[in-house]
Amino acid sequence: MSTATAARPKAPGAPAKKRKLSWPVVLLLIAGALVLISAVGMATGNHSLTSSGQIAAALSAAVPIGMAGLGGLWSERAGVVNIGLEGMMVAGTFCGAWAGYLVNPWVGLLAGMLGGALGGLLHAIITVTFGVDHIVSGVGINLLIPGICAYVNRIYYKDYISAGAGQNQSPPADPLPYITVPGLSSGLKSIENHHWFLVSDAAGVLGGLVTNLSVVVVLAAALIVASYFLLWRTVFGLRLRSCGENPTAAESLGVNVYKYKYMAVIASGAFAGLGGAYLSLVAAHFYKDGQTLGRGFIGLAAMIFGNWMPGGLAMGAGLFGFTDSLQLRDPESVHVLILIVSIAMALLALWQLYRRKYTATVISFVVAGGLAAWYALTDEVQRPLIVATPYVITLVVLSLASQRLRMPKADGQIYRKGQGK
Amino acid sequence: MTSPNPVAKRSLAQRISGERIVLALAAPVLAVALSVAICSVLLATSGKNPFDAWNVMITYATKSDGQVAILNRTTTYYLAAAAAAFGFRMNLFNIGVEGQYKVAALFAAFVGAQLDLPSFIQIPLLLITAMLVGGLYASIAGLLKVYRGVSEVISTIMLNSIALAIIGVLLVPGVFAPKVSGTTNSIQTDPVSQSSHFFSIETPGGTLWGFIFVAALVGVVFQFVLTRTRFGFDLRATGRSESAATASGVNVKKMVIISMAVSGAIAGLIGMPELLQNSFYYGQTFQQNLGFLGISIALLGRNSPIGMAFAALLFAFLDATGAQLPLKGGFPSEIVSVMQGTIVICVVVAYELVRRYGLKRQQKRVGAQLAAQAAATEKKEVSA
């Protein structure tokens, strides 16, 4: 794919053993974050960051990102880099809205997946059969599919103006059902409104998870879990991943590498298509050009953030969904977020001091101080900066943790049968 | 096999033999033909005669105002392609051309609006500003790749989006835009001073941008640097085989940073023809998507300065004449991006097929030669 000038492992004095983030540690970190947010919420009187509305919005924004990321995960685990996710998502938005209007939204979801899968098939033909560079093919797909959708949108929906189609948009489809857990939701809401320390915040988060939940959100969560079991706990998954790690070895063991790559990339397109269908059936009820707004790329970033693992991907999608939803909410809550990140950085600095990493300590302290000053000196955050947050986070994570991230070994390499050395 | 001379001559003759030329041209011609066919079908499904559409496009291209419009677009597209191609030649995927040219154009527009120096200082100053900003912005990705091992594909995609945020923060009234935005809704910088206007040529078909000469110069320098300098050799060597380049003493890390910066510097020029010749300010309506178009054009032209010139001309032709489609005959102009997409996809596939075919032929030829040699030595041994 590209010249790999991997940075050398850092300082020889550093401990060689890699600490893995285990689930208990992750849960502890999340709990700690909640305590911190809760404390700052108490101090500033702004509880909107953990309100159920905010959490529901974050979850809703996370779904398309997570689905695009899941698509990237499938494809890259089989060794095919998929920059074309964006284009496949567009195919999903278009086909989803189209079938959603003509038949019903459930068929729309399927049609969206099918549309995305067709994009995936195209990517697979170009990269696997013809052996074209994966990035090049992805760029081509991102040019072609939105073009086709915009063209068809322009000529097709002209005749549907009476059905509610706009100049450049499809007629609205029926909405998909929402799920609210009865009893639990209202109970949590009342606890949330009391603004008790920690309890109300936890209630707000839980409330956001059980109130007015689109079925597609549940479906997406189920798909991420199912992908984990399919890819890591079955023979099929082992074979698929072996195509991304060492296709030649897989071939020598009798795995049909082409077949697995094809399946993975088609599945990848289908997931991206589902993410797109979510945008045109749940987030909005119609198709419009340029609905995806680069979410395919953010999905890719979420997957890399999550170290090419479903759990990490879900967290990445959640984080990016959270920042994505912040831009729609009041600028004040984002301002509070600066203070929270600043305190978190200060705590990180103390931890690094304890671990005797002095350079990292100084850097963390400087960042914390800078953020604190920013918080003190301003009243609100400019909107473009909020929009850019996921991208900056990705860059920072990649640059700090790229030694810890491990992508599939043969990711992005062109494989041809019988040419192994 | 007495002296190396005849061999060298033969290889040169082989290089320009008909077969090679046919093979090299087959791919783009096939790709264009295929995409014309696909788009004809698409146009026909909308219930209109596709030949009318092609007729509208070709008719516009034969008129002088159409030709000037095409050449002006070619200028911009060529610069965009050159920026992407410079990285591609060393296997660096600078997807971030998109962000680099926007940031560069914004800063150049701001500097151009603030200063009013004599033209011969002002214009070079603006060009240098744009190249510097573009180069610096691109080198973030280069540095991250070299020191932190971050793939430039991902980092440049992120930087594209961050560039939009930078512009969003800076392009507000009171910072880079004038305080009173007046009657218009769109926010934009002040127009650049009169001395920043680049020279243009008045033709019967309209104003031809003088920047076309800058684009041509970039192409010449591009070719010269890559084929006639040590740096260019190192760059191509790194692109072909990084380990071989390292073994022969190339400092790959340095090469990555420099070529990323140069790629970004060329990207900085992309917005200049528009800024210094047409709109004279940077605003929210500034031309979009040139980065990705540039990548496509570079792929189509196989990263060679001459190939890219033809590819840029083709894309400019499609875009400029495609804009006429809705006006004359009511065809949707979106068909142009379908066509560009199919051309790019078909052409990369066709190049790969042609490459494989050529390789197979070469292998066969070498195999036949070796077999003949082996047969000859065997005969000698038998007769001896």
* Alpha-carbon gap: A251 to the closest alpha carbon of chain B (Å): 22
Q: Which residue has the tokens 């995609």?
A: B157
User: How confident is residue B131, by pLDDT bands cut at 50, 70 and 90?
Assistant: very high
* pLDDT at position A3 over 60: no
Q: What is the pLDDT of residues A167-211, one digit of tens each?
A: 778 888 888 888 877 777 777 777 777 777 777 777 877 877 877
Task: Output A11 or B46, whichever has higher pLDDT.
Answer: B46
B232 in reach of chain A (CB within 8 A):
no
Task: Pull the structure tokens for residue A54.
Answer: 């905010």
At residue A378 the predicted structure's pLDDT band, cuts being 50, 70 and 90, is: confident
Cβ pair B348:A140 closer than 8 A:
yes
Residue scoring higher pLDDT (A95 or B379): A95
Phi-psi region of A201 (alpha: psi -120 to 50; beta: other; left: phi over 0): alpha
Q: Among candidates A14, A44, A16, which has minimal Cα distance to A335?
A: A44
Q: Please answer yes or no on whether B144 and A399 come within 8 Å at the CB atom.
A: yes
Question: Do A154 and B153 make contact, defined as CB atoms within 8 angstroms?
Answer: no
| CB–CB contact B348 A133 (8 Å) | yes
* pLDDT attached to residue B382: 67
pLDDT of residue A30: 80
Instruction: Tell if the CB–CB gap between A151 and B352 is shorter than 8 Å.
Output: no
Q: Check whether B1 has a pLDDT greater than 50.
A: no
Contact B149 A1 (CB under 8 A): no
Distance, CA of B232 to CA of B253 (rounded, Å): 15
Lowest-confidence pick of A125-134, B33-42, B186-195, B301-310? B186-195
| CA dist., res. B29 & res. A67, Å (int) | 38
Q: Do A140 and B165 count as a contact with CB atoms less than 8 A apart?
A: no
Chain A hits for B150, CB-CB cut-off 8 Å, are 395, 398-399, 402
- Please say whether the beta carbons of B308 and B298 come within 8 A: yes
Pair type for strands A178-179 and A213-214: antiparallel
Contact criterion met (CB below 8 Å) for A74 and A227? yes
Asked if B292 lies within 8 A of A143 by C-beta distance, the reply is yes
Report the alpha-carbon distance of residue A339 to residue A364 in Å, rounded.
14
For the ranges A65-74, A307-316, A383-392, the lowest mean pLDDT is seen at A383-392
What are the CA-CA distances from residue A24 to residues A37, B95, B162 (Å)? Answer: 20, 39, 34
DSSP-assigned beta bridge partners for residue B233: none
- Other residues' Cβ atoms within 10 Å of the Cβ of residue B230: 9
The CA distance from B157 to the nearest CA of chain A, in Å, is 7
With 60 as the cut, is the pLDDT of residue A19 above it?
no
Contacts of A13 (CB under 8 A, 6+ apart): none
Contact state of A388 with B165 under an 8 Å Cβ cutoff: yes
Residue A339 above 80 pLDDT? yes
Confidence of residue B222 (pLDDT cuts 50, 70, 90): very high
Flag if B341 and A140 touch (Cβ within 8 Å): yes
Q: Cα separation of A145 and A119, whole Å?
A: 8
Q: Give the pLDDT of residue B384.
A: 57
| pLDDT-wise least confident of A250-254, A310-314, A334-338, B70-74 | A334-338
Please give the pLDDT value at position B7. Answer: 46
Q: Using CA atoms, how far apart are residues A44 and A59, in angstroms rounded to an integer?
A: 25
Is B46's CB within 8 Å of A155's CB? yes
Would an 8 Å CB–CB cutoff place A392 in contact with chain B?
Answer: yes
Report the amino acid identity of residue A133.
Answer: D
Distance from CA of B256 to the nearest CA of A (A): 9
Confidence label for B214 from pLDDT (cuts 50, 70 and 90): very high
A399 neighbourhood in chain B, CB within 8 Å: 144, 148, 150
Question: What are the C-alpha distances in Å from B12 to residues B21, B28, B236?
Answer: 13, 24, 21
Whether A388 and B162 lie within 8 Å, measured CB to CB: yes
Per-residue confidence (pLDDT) for residue A5, from 0 to 100: 45
- Which residues of chain A lie closer than 8 angstroms to B256, CB-CB? 3, 5
pLDDT number for residue B306: 92
With CB atoms and an 8 Å threshold, state whether B149 touches A402. yes
- Rounded to a whole number, what is the distance in Å from the CA of B40 to chain A's nearest CA? 13
Structure tokens at B220: 């010449």
| Interface subset of A 293-322, CB within 8 angstroms of B | 294, 297, 300-301, 304
Q: Do B154 and A301 touch (CB under 8 A)?
A: yes
Q: pTM for the full model?
A: 0.86
Collect all residues of chain A within an 8 Å Cβ-Cβ radius of residue B337. Answer: 143-144, 146-147, 150-151
The answer to whether B145 contacts chain A (CB < 8 Å) is yes
Could you tell me which of B32, B345, B352 has the C-alpha nearest to residue A132?
B352
Nearest to B342 among A139, A144, A392 (CB): A144
The residue of chain A with its CA nearest to that of B336 is A147
The shortest C-alpha distance from A297 to chain B (Å) reads 7
Q: How sure is the predictor about A10, in pLDDT bands with cuts at 50, 70 and 90?
A: very low
Query: Which candidate from B168, B253, B341 shows the least CB-CB separation from A147?
Result: B341
Which of B34, B39, B94, B151 has the most A C-beta neighbours within 10 Å, making it the best mutation to test the interface with A?
A: B151
> A169 has which bridge partners?
A288
Chain A hits for B154, CB-CB cut-off 8 Å, are: 300-301, 304, 394, 398
The label of the residue with tokens 């159920």 reads A52
pLDDT bracket for residue B184 (50, 70, 90): low
pLDDT band at B177 (very low <50, low <70, confident <90, very high): confident
- B35 in reach of chain A (CB within 8 A): no
pLDDT at A8: 41
Nearest to A207 by CA among A340, A325, A59, A324: A59
Q: How far is A390 from chain B (nearest CA, A)?
A: 9
Sign of the alpha-carbon dihedral angle for A410, A411, A415, A417: positive
The label of the residue with tokens 């991907």 reads: A313
Chain B hits for A76, Cβ within 8 Å: none
Residue A336: which pLDDT band, with cuts at 50, 70 and 90? confident
Q: Report the chain A residue with the minimal C-alpha distance to residue B147.
A: A7
Give the H or E element holding residue B224.
helix B211-228
Band of pLDDT at residue A79, cut at 50, 70 and 90: very high
- Extract the tokens encoding A83: 């920059």
* A272, A42 contact by CB (below 8 A): no
A26-40, B7-21, B116-130, B304-318: least confidently modelled range: B7-21
φ/ψ of B188, rounded to 5, equals -150, 165
In a mutational test of the A interface, the residue from B46, B153, B263 whose CB has the highest number of chain A CBs within 10 Å is B153
Q: How far is A65 from chain B (nearest CA, A)?
A: 15
For β-strands B206-209 and A178-179, DSSP reports them as unpaired
Contact call for B150 and A143, based on CB within 8 A:
no
Residue A235 pLDDT exceeds 90: yes
Question: Is A238 a residue whose pLDDT tops 90?
Answer: yes
Could you say which residues from 393 to 412 on chain A have a Cβ atom under 8 Å away from some Cβ of chain B? 394-395, 398-400, 402-403
3-class DSSP assignment, residue A83: coil
Q: Where does the pLDDT of residue B264 fall: very low under 50, low under 70, confident under 90, or very high at 90 and above? A: very high
Distance from CA of B376 to the nearest CA of A (A): 31
Rounded mean pLDDT, B141-160: 89
pLDDT tens for B349-369 read 888 888 888 888 889 999 999
Residue A172's region, left for phi above 0, alpha for psi from -120 to 50, else beta, is beta
How confident is the model over B98-103, as a mean pLDDT?
A: 94
The distance from CA B247 to its chain's CA centroid, rounded to whole angstroms, is 31
CB contact under 8 A, A148 and B338: yes
A179 strand-pairing partners: A213
Question: Highest-confidence range of A341-345, A370-374, B125-129, by mean pLDDT?
Answer: B125-129
CB contact under 8 A, B92 and A151: no
Å from A178 to nearest chain B CA?
32
The whole-angstrom distance between A150's CA and the closest CA on chain B is 6
Confirm or reject contact between B161 and chain A (CB < 8 A). Answer: yes
- A-chain residue closest to B92, CA distance: A2
Cβ contacts (< 8 Å) between B159 and chain A: which residues?
A: 391, 395
Instruction: Give, as one character, the DSSP assignment of residue B191.
Output: P
Mean pLDDT computed over B76-100: 92
Q: Which residues of A touch B245 (CB under 8 A)?
A: none
Q: In the predicted model, what is the mean pLDDT of residues B17-46?
A: 82
Residue B2 has pLDDT above 70, yes or no: no
The residues with which B208 forms a beta bridge, in sequence order, are B201
Cβ-Cβ contacts under 8 Å between A and B: the total is 163
Contact of A9 with chain B, judged by CB distance below 8 Å, is answered with: no
Of residues B91, B149, B341, nearest to A6 (C-beta): B149
Percent of chain A residues past pLDDT 70, beyond the cut: 93
Q: Chain A within 8 Å of B98 (Cβ-Cβ)?
A: no
Chain B's closest residue to A133, CA to CA, is B348
